[in-house]
C-alpha cells in the first residue's frame, strides 16, 4: 500500500501541467529565482553601503579641508589654541575660532555638536603628540597633532563616524619649552595648521579656493566657512584673510589691482630712497631647480637686507618671497632722486661756465697754431 502511494505521488510530481512544466521543474525554478533574488538584494545593500560610505567621506573631507584652511590663518590658529597648555595625554577643545585681530573680537567658526553642510556634526576635537623639533621650519619650534571626530548623517535613519587629523606648527610659551604646563602657542606669527603627512586640503578644494574652467556668466563668493554661492555676474573670487599660493604661471586677461585707498592707511611718510642702496642690488638670470625653467629676478635675501618691507616668508616652509609690485614706488623715488641730482649738477655746470666766461671771456675760433681750442 505504501509503495503504491509513493508511486502515485511521484507520478503526480513528474506529470506536466498544461504548459508542459512538471511540479518538480517549477520548484527548482523557484529555488533558483530565490537564490538570484537574495544575491541581487545583497548586491543592492552592498552598493547602498558603498554609496553611503563614499558620500560620507566626501562630505567629511570637504568640511575637514575647510577647518584646516581656516587654521592656516595664523590669527585664527592663535585664537583657537592660545588658551591650551601641553599635557601628557590628549587635550580636548570645543571650537575653532575666526582670524579676527584686535580690536575686533574673534568668534567661533566651527563648534562641537553643530550641523555643517546640513548633515555633519563634529563630535570631538583633541590635541596630542606634542613634539619638540620634528623637522618643522623656523620660526616654529615643534608641532602637535589634532584629531577631529565627525558624525555624518547619510540617510534619514543612518549615520557613520569618521576620523580626520592635521598638524599645528607652533612656538611654545616659554619659548622652546615643550613640557607639560607650557602654553602651546606664544604669538600669532608662531601658529600654523597644515594637512597631516603633506596631503592636500581635502577632496574638493575648488569649493573654497577656486572654480574650475572658464566662467563668464556666474559670480562665486566664498564666505569665512568656505561655503560658495553663484550669482549671474562674471567670475569673482574673494578670500578674506590667509594667503593664496600658485605653483606655476598665472595668466590674467585684465588688470591686477592692489587695494591702496588712503582711507585704509595711517602714519604715511614720504619715501626717501638713497640711490646707493639700489646699487647694492643685483639682478640675476637663473634656472628654477624644480622644472629647470629659465627666469630673471632678484634674490629675496639680498632685497630683504635693504628693503625688508617687500619680502615675506612662507609660514609653513620658511621660503622667502619678494613683492615685485612694491618695488615700483622705490624705483620711482630713486629715479626722482637721481633726476634732482642731475638738475643740481646741471646748475653747477652752468654756474662754472658763467664764471669761466666772466674771467676768461668767451672762447671762440682757433688758436694761433691753427688748432681748435
Cell numbers found for residue 241: 584673510
How much of the chain, in percent, has pLDDT values that exceed 70? 71
Q: What is the pLDDT of residues 287-311, one digit of tens each?
A: 988 778 888 989 999 989 888 988 9
> What is residue 218's predicted lDDT score, i.e. its pLDDT?
37
Distance CA 172, CA 177 (A): 6
Mean pLDDT across the stretch 79-99?
91
Window from 21-35, 221-235, 304-318, 324-338 with minimum mean pLDDT = 221-235
Q: How many CB atoms lie within 10 A of CB 96?
A: 26
Q: Closest Cα partner for 114 from 90, 94, 89?
A: 94
Burial of 39 (0-12, 13-18, 19+ CB in 10 A): exposed
Does 326 sit behind a cis peptide bond, omega within 30 degrees of 0 on the bond before it? Answer: no
Given this model, what pLDDT does residue 230 score?
38
Give CA–CA dist 315/72, Å, rounded: 9
**pLDDT band at residue 51 using 50, 70 and 90 as cut-offs:** low
The stretch 7-22 carries a mean pLDDT of 52
352-363 average pLDDT score? 74
Whether residue 365 has pLDDT greater than 80: no
Q: What is residue 233's DSSP assignment?
A: S
Pairwise CA distance, residues 70 & 227, whole Å: 12
- Roughly what angle, to the nearest 10 degrees, separates helices 23-71 and 2-14? 60
> Own/partner pairs for 12-17, CB < 8 Å, 24+ apart?
none
* Ranges of each domain in the chain: 50-207, 265-363
- Whether the predicted pLDDT of 319 surpasses 90: no
**CA-based nearest residue to 228, from 124, 75, 117:** 117
Could you give the CA distance from residue 51 to residue 152 in angstroms, rounded to a whole number? 13
User: Taking 50 as the threshold, does the pLDDT of residue 322 lie above it?
Assistant: yes
The pLDDT, as a whole number, for residue 49 is 60
pTM, two decimal places:
0.47
Amino acid at each position: 500500500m505504501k509503495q503504491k502511494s509513493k508511486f502515485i505521488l511521484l507520478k503526480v510530481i513528474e506529470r506536466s501541467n498544461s504548459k508542459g512544466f512538471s511540479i518538480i521543474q517549477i520548484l527548482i525554478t523557484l529555488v533558483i529565482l530565490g537564490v538570484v533574488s537574495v544575491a541581487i538584494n545583497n548586491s543592492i545593500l552592498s552598493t547602498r553601503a558603498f554609496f553611503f560610505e563614499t558620500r560620507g567621506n566626501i562630505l567629511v573631507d570637504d568640511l575637514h579641508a575647510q577647518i584646516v584652511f581656516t587654521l592656516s590663518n595664523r590669527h585664527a590658529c592663535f585664537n583657537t589654541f592660545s588658551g591650551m597648555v601641553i599635557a601628557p595625554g590628549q587635550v580636548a577643545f570645543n571650537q575653532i575660532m575666526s582670524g579676527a585681530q584686535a580690536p575686533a573680537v574673534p568668534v567661533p567658526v566651527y563648534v562641537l555638536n553643530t550641523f555643517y553642510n546640513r548633515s555633519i556634526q563634529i563630535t570631538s576635537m583633541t590635541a596630542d603628540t606634542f613634539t619638540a623639533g620634528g623637522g618643522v621650519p623656523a620660526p616654529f619650534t615643534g608641532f602637535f597633532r589634532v584629531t577631529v571626530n565627525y558624525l555624518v548623517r547619510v540617510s534619514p535613519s543612518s549615520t557613520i563616524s569618521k576620523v580626520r587629523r592635521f598638524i599645528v606648527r607652533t612656538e611654545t610659551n616659554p619659548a622652546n619649552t615643550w613640557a607639560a604646563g607650557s602654553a602651546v602657542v606664544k604669538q600669532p606669527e608662531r601658529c600654523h595648521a597644515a594637512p597631516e603627512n603633506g596631503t592636500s586640503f581635502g577632496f574638493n578644494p575648488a569649493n573654497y579656493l577656486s572654480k574650475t574652467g572658464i566662467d563668464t556668466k556666474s559670480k562665486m563668493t566664498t564666505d569665512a566657512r568656505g561655503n560658495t554661492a553663484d550669482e549671474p555676474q562674471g567670475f569673482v573670487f574673494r578670500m578674506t584673510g590667509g594667503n593664496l599660493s600658485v605653483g606655476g604661471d598665472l595668466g590674467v586677461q585684465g588688470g591686477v589691482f592692489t587695494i591702496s585707498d588712503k582711507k585704509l592707511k595711517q602714519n604715511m611718510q614720504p619715501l626717501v630712497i638713497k640711490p646707493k642702496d639700489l646699487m647694492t642690488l643685483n639682478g640675476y638670470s637663473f634656472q628654477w631647480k624644480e622644472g629647470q625653467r629659465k627666469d630673471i629676478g632678484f634674490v629675496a635675501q639680498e632685497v630683504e637686507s635693504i628693503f625688508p618691507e617687500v619680502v615675506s616668508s612662507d609660514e609653513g616652509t620658511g621660503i622667502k618671497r619678494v613683492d615685485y609690485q612694491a618695488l615700483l614706488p622705490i624705483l620711482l623715488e630713486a629715479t626722482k632722486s637721481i633726476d634732482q641730482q642731475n638738475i643740481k649738477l646741471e646748475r653747477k655746470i652752468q654756474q662754472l661756465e658763467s664764471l669761466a666766461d666772466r674771467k676768461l671771456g668767451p672762447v671762440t675760433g682757433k688758436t694761433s697754431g691753427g688748432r681748435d681750442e
